[in-house]
A = this chain, B = another copy of it.
Amino acid sequence: MAAKTAGARLEERWRDILSAHARTMCEIDRALHPHGLGASDFEVLDMLATAAPEEGEQCRVQNLVGRVHLSQSALSRLIARLEKDGLVARSVCVEDRRGVWVALTSRGRDLHAEVLPLQRAALARTLGA
């Protein structure tokens, strides 16, 4: 029965994760949608805001792929969207011309600052309770 309960416990834990994920994701989307952002968009913006506060460490995109829960192609498209909206800027890396730097624009930085509390509030609502 030990194996049985272990399996059941995993199953239960998985359900918890699933539901917490779904509720929180949805709540974040709700909170951010009025500002034209989705949860993934915010994740990347937040990444850029916190992981590179002063200056660029690496050739960005490659750097981001590992840290974000998205495939390389999805990230590429997402960044393209953000650029189109004027929130980030892409520039080729001079040292390795395959690479691309991504940086927040001032507009991107402002928007991030604006929505950060909303995201935090959403987290508090779904995870904090």
Residues of A within 8 A of B (CB): 6-7, 10-11, 13-14, 17-22, 24, 69, 120, 123-124, 127-128
Contact = CB atoms under 8 A, between A and B. Distances in A.
A11 B69 contact: no
Nearest to A11: B123
A46 to B, nearest CB: 9
Contacts of A128: 6, 10
Closest 5 CB pairs of A and B: A22-B69, A10-B123, A21-B21, A7-B120, A14-B123
Given A120-B7, A123-B10, A123-B11, A24 B19 contact: no
Contacts of A127: 10, 13-14, 17
